[in-house]
Structure formats: structure tokens, C-alpha cells
Chain A
Amino acid sequence: MGEKITISPVTRIEGHAKITIHLDNDGNVEESFFHVEQFRGFEKFSEGRMFYEMPQITPRTCGICPVSHHLASVKACDKVAGTEPTPTATLLRRLMHKGQLIQSHGMHFFELAGPDLILGFDADPAIRNVAGVVQANPELAVKAVKLRAFGQEIIRRLGGRRVHPVFAVPGGVNKPLSEEDRDWILSQVDDHIATTQVGIDFLKGWVEEHQTMVDDFAVFPSMYMGLVQPDGALELYGGQLRLVDQDGEQVEQFDPCNYLDYIGEHVNEYSYLKSPFYKKMGYPAGVYRVGPLGRLNAASHINTPLAQEEMAVWKSLNGGRPVEGTLYFHYARLIETLYSLERTKELLDDPAIMETDVANPGGQITGEGIGCIEAPRGTLFHHYWTDDNGVIEKVNMIVATGHNAWAMNHSINMVAKKYVDGNNLEEGMLNRVEAAIRAHDPCLSCSTHAVGQMPIDIQLVDADGQVRDRLRTD
């Protein structure tokens, strides 16, 4: 083995991570590793707390998708409390979750990945960021900021706060929706549908312009997983989990409460991020992808009209087979944003959402509960065991980003081999490697809920440990 390039921290992703690229003696890329560096220990330190505290404790795994944790947690708590939410409460939880998808996806496309797409992978790193986007295209930037803000406002109007809201409780939610809030949200939706469509048009143009690269940038087969409705349509809150193979054929469809029969987690010694896999096939044969790309490949269609128009395009990209290219994550993310906006409208047009019966009383403590939801980054599981009084005895969490751990590592390997020339290092090469991670929109605080961090200093170190070349972007 020759040299090692370290990219630390990886930026414009959530959390702390580094990438190491190992070179052979001729300066060619041999292998690359994605190291997630943070671990906090939620699965241990929640022991001894009352179960109903979990919907407030666990959102602190991630400030970008706190609502996903809040809701997965409360779904587990419904079961621990031996109750279920009222129909209105379910509608309101779904509405808040749409707010989560809109803000997280909106921010990722325009503010995190956007600088690469709008300014270019080789743009000066000093301006390749949200400030650069504001300068290059202020009109688009302001629209994007407003799209994210809209998602955050839905969350705040329901849960009182934009980050770490206080809303769902076992059996329901803590307050009904006001007419004023319903009318305000409805009055804004169409503008944001328009912004998302501007984003989709921009992305399609970008893909067309960079088709050769898109077709060659970490494109690989895998299995895919996501929640689906009974008719096989895209689902984000309830439903069953569907796992499809690399040809798009269904391998399994199961109730998420039985996840332990289907999903195992493999530990890599080089990362705090575990790699889930399909148990019946083992690791690494049973790896799959989740998140926007995984979900659109697992679902057969989308039950809202505008998003379904795009879904039809999606399904045609690879002749009816699953879409394999990592950069298509961005397209999938925008399609899901469109879906979430359309669903926001549908939910608010349903008179049942205005009912005031928003919580059922608790029953007998059952001692165990499992909650599953599609977080922006993929399938999220919370599993709690309690004593007869509801004191937490054990916690298991499988977090969205983890399911993509293998895929992220595989992607950087492919991109590094394609673009990185160890004898002639350029920053843009390494930014492409980072972009392969970024496309997955990982959330590393989440994924290492167990402890966590993800930031880049690139060094080319020769076999004697001498720094031969260094890219440190400060």
C-alpha cells in the first residue's frame, strides 16, 4: 500500500465524518473508506427514563429531522401505552411529517447539494456554498430559503417550535389545528409547488448537460427498501415495508413491527456507522439502499397527480428497472418534495383534520413498542422495552442513514477510482468524492445516535509518513 489521502471533515453534510483514500505505489486509488466519527449513546443513556419522555429525548439525535424521531418515537410509545392515536391525530402527525420532508429535502437540494450543481464541482471552495448561490442567483436562493421556511413553519404552527417541536403524545397530539393555521398553510402551498417545479426543471437541465457524468457517477445495482401503501404507492408515515431486488422485483413485504426478522446490522471497525442488511441474505450480499432513491425504486407509483407525472419519468429512466445512479438521488428528493406539498394540501382539505378529538387515553402498559417511519433519509426504527411502570429498560434504534452506509462507501470507492489521480491531486477531484456522500444526504448525528460527528483536510502522505501534498481549504 502506498499513500493515504484524508478528507476531513466532509462538509455540507450533517454530522462529522472523514474519507480516507488509499493509493497504491503508482498513485492509483486502491480503496476508500467513509469514517463516521461521532457516537453519543442514546440507546444506552435513555435507560431508566419514562417512556413518554422519549419523543422529546430522541429528536436530539438530529436537529434536521427531529420530527421523524419525534413521530417514530411516539408511534413506539402508542404501543407501549396500549393505545392508538385518534384519526384526527394521525392526520395531524402526517401533516407535521410533510413539513419535515419539505424543509429537509428543500434545504438539501438548494443549500447543501445546490452549490455543486449551480456553481460547479470545480468552483472555488471559498464561494462554493449557500452564500455563493445567493450571489449567483439571488431570486432562486430566496425562493429556496422560503421553501425550507415553509416546512419549518408547518412544524412550528403544530408543535410550537421549528426545531425539536412539542406535539405528539402517546395516543395522539397535544392540540388541534386552528382554522387560522390551516388557512395560512393552504394559502402558501401553491407558491412552493412552483418553486419545487423550478428546481425540477433546473435539475433536469443539469442532468441533460452532464449526462455522461451522471451515467458514470457511482452507478451500481443494489436492493431498495421503503414504506408503501396497500396499493404499492409511495408512503412516508405508515404502511408496510417493501424490499425489492436489483431488477425491481419484490423480495419481501412486511409489517415494520417484525423488522428484527428481516434486518440485521453489521459493524465496521472503521466507522461508528453500522451497516444494516437483509438478514436472509447476510452481509454484504443483503445490502440495500433507502431514502428518496430507495423509496421511488421500491414504490410502484405515487398517489398525487404532479408527483406521479414525475414518477412516470423516473420509472422510464432505466427502462422500467430501478434507477441506479447516485446523482439521481437529487431528482428523487425533489419528486418527494412535490409529493409532500401535494399531500399537505390534501390533508388540509380533509374536514376530519379540524376535529378536536386529538388524543386517546392510555391503556395498560404493554412493555414493548416499535415505531417505524420514512424519515427524509430513509427508514427509521425506534424499539423500546419497558417495565410494568413504563420505565425504559432497553432501546434499539436503526436510523435512516445507516441503511445507506454500504452504498455510501461503495459510491466513494467508485468515484475516487474514477476521478482521483494520486499523482496530481486537485481539490475538485476530492469534492466529487464528497459529492458522492452528499447525494445520499447523510445525517450522521442520527446514524451514530449511539455517539457522533462529520467534518476536510486532505493530505497525501507517502509510504514514509511524509506529507507530500496537502489540500486544506482554510
Chain B
Amino acid sequence: MGKIKVASQWLEACAGCHMSFLDIDERIVELLQHVELTSTPITDLKHPPEDGVDVGILTGAIGNEDEVAEAKEMRERCKILIAMGDCAVFGGICTMRNFFSREEVLRRGYVETESTVEGDVPEHEDLAPLTSCVKGVGEVVPVDIYLPGCPPTADAIWYVLSELLEGRMPKVEGDALRYGLDGG
């Protein structure tokens, strides 16, 4: 049997979910025997392969136009899509921006902050415009598996991946949903 192909991407995120993935520690050596990492933030392929992957993982919320395009690309190119972490599942802490207008948030960041000297809001053809509000991944593309947590524990991530490797749909419940002080 060939290896299962996995792609992942972080959208509007802090990278903590990918850190929690790396927190599987030495188990990564075992995982790599069964899994081929294609495009991920820690590898050098930039996009999921055009002929598709088995599992796509998105972390982070969706808050700009590039992130919308990336979420759609991942959805199109993967069989099973996992929304991993509170930002991908619910929008998370990023949605605190939704209490303000885009303009207010950008003005604070680039004009009003006390250390900023003669600042202006960046605008450039190579910068993606912000969406009017921040959303979870499931509000933009259909998601197959939701794995919440800020971040989900390494054990919860390991559970989901190993179930998929066994050909089963993981049931995210019980300890895998326990937010808070983790065991490892």
C-alpha cells in the first residue's frame, strides 16, 4: 500500500496547531513511515499537488482574500478536509476583529499606535485585502472533520491521524475535546 498523502496549510493563525502537531515528538518518525507530507508550512512544496491528496488539514480562520483562495484550493485537492484548532473550527480569537470595522483595526495598527511614525495603512498589489469579517473554514468550504482546541492536544491530533490511517472516520469526543490543561 502506498503512503497516505497529506497536505496542510495555516491560514489566519498563530502556528500553535502545527506546533501541537510537532508535539507528537518521536511519533513523527513512525508517522512518516505511513504518511507522505506534500505541501505544508514545514516542507517546501508550495501548494497541494494538482492530482490531489488524501487528507487536507487547515488551521486558522479566514480573514483575507488569499486565505479564501487557499481554503478553496485545499478543498478541491483533498478527499478529506480537517479543520484543526479553534480558529479553523469557529474563527477563534481572530473573530474578535469582527467587533470592529476593517478600517478601525488597520488604522490602529498602522496609523494610531504610539510608536508608529507618520504611518499609513499598507496597500499594495501584492497584499491580499482583508475580508469584511473573519470566518471559520466551514463557513467558506465544506469540512469533513472538526478538531477544536487552542490548540488541540498532540494526542488528539495523533488520534485523528491514526484513525484515518486505519481507514476509519475518527470520532472526536471525550478527552479529544478537552480544552485546558493537557497531559502531554
CB nearest to A20 among chain B residues = B126
Give B178 Cβ to nearest chain A Cβ, in Å.
11
Check: B55 CB closer than 8 A to any chain A CB.
no
Q: Is the interface of B mostly helix, strand, loop or mixed?
A: loop
Give B171 Cβ to nearest chain A Cβ, in Å.
23
Is the Cβ of B105 less than 8 Å from the Cβ of A265? no
Contacts of A274 in B (CB 8 A): 110, 116, 119
Contacts of A361 in B (CB 8 A): none
Check: A468 CB closer than 8 A to any chain B CB.
no
Is the Cβ of A445 less than 8 Å from the Cβ of B13? yes
Is the Cβ of A263 less than 8 Å from the Cβ of B115? yes
Partner of A283, one of B46, B70, B117, B123: B117
On chain A, the number of residues with a Cβ less than 8 Å from chain B's Cβ atoms is: 88
Report B4-16 CB contacts with A as 1/0, cut-off 8 Å.
Answer: 0000011111111
Check: B64 CB closer than 8 A to any chain A CB.
yes
Report B146-171 CB contacts with A as 1/0, cut-off 8 Å.
Answer: 00001100100000000000000000
Question: A457 vs B39: C-alpha distance in the bound complex, in angstroms?
Answer: 12
On chain B, the number of residues with a Cβ less than 8 Å from chain A's Cβ atoms is: 75
Is the Cβ of A267 less than 8 Å from the Cβ of B122? yes
Contacts of A141 in B (CB 8 A): 29
Partner of A60, one of B14, B25, B39: B14
Check: A177 CB closer than 8 A to any chain B CB.
no
Q: Is the interface of A mostly helix, strand, loop or mixed?
A: mixed
Check: A189 CB closer than 8 A to any chain B CB.
no
Partner of A271, one of B28, B46, B122: B122
Give A124 Cβ to nearest chain B Cβ, in Å.
9
Check: B37 CB closer than 8 A to any chain A CB.
yes
Question: A82 vs B159: C-alpha distance in the bound complex, in angstroms?
Answer: 45
Contacts of B119 in A (CB 8 A): 265-267, 274
Contacts of A15 in B (CB 8 A): 10, 15
Partner of A270, one of B19, B124, B151: B124
Is the Cβ of A35 less than 8 Å from the Cβ of B12? no
Question: A11 vs B120: C-alpha distance in the bound complex, in angstroms?
Answer: 28
Which residues 383-430 in A have Cβ within 8 Å of B in the complex? 383, 394, 396, 398
Question: A134 vs B36: C-alpha distance in the bound complex, in angstroms?
Answer: 13
Give B17 Cβ to nearest chain A Cβ, in Å.
7
